[in-house]
Amino acid sequence: MPAGVPVGSAARPWSSPRSEATLSTRSLTILVTGGTGFLGPRLVRELLADGHRVRCLIRSRSAERSLRRGLGEVDSERLQTVTGTLNTVESCRALAHGCNAVVHAAAALAGAPAALFLNSVVASRMLATAACDEGVSRFVLISSLAVYGTASLRPGDTVDEHIGLDAH
């Protein structure tokens, strides 16, 4: 981390004093879901630049090519991509096997309510269970503002835990 940048600052908003010390002295294997989504490519690039090994769940080879192109100068030798889904506990266990941490940033954003629930809530639960079963020491869940009922908000309104979920 650059000198003068406080821990937990915008440079590493996910850091804490304890995790910063651990991450800076040890290379971890980190599973990233949603690595080809909105936040994922930047997250993958930063983790690789920090010297970590990244296992990234992807849904297609075209998504993998796009991710690798976006890495730029970062050494991608430590990037392992796995094509698959989070639809079974067995596939989630295989993904989490040997990982120190999981950053779960994948979510279904379109489809019927039942499919959204299955591919987001149930899949997240299966991945968290598999991570525990595999001895993963840290699990980070990144959600989305898309779940909140923001259609009726006025400019300047605050989105917090009292806002409620989107009806659709």
Tens of pLDDT along 102-133? Answer: 999 998 778 888 888 888 889 999 999 999 99
For residue 113, give both structure tokens. 């309510």
3-state SS assignment for residue 116: helix
Provide the whole-model pTM.
0.74
Q: Is 83 exposed, middle or buried (0-12, 13-18, 19+ CB in 10 A)?
A: exposed
Question: Percent helix, strand and coil across the chain, each rounded to 5?
Answer: 40, 15, 45
Whose structure tokens read 């890495």?
A: 71
Give the integer Cα–Cα distance in Å for 153 and 125.
Answer: 30
For 105, half-sphere exposure in the C-beta direction (CA atoms, 13 angstrom radius) is 19
Q: CA triplet 36, 40, 42: central angle to 5 degrees?
A: 115
User: Are the CB atoms for 107 and 86 separated by under 8 Å?
Assistant: no
Tens of pLDDT along 4-59? Answer: 333 333 444 444 444 444 445 589 999 999 999 888 999 999 999 999 999 999 98
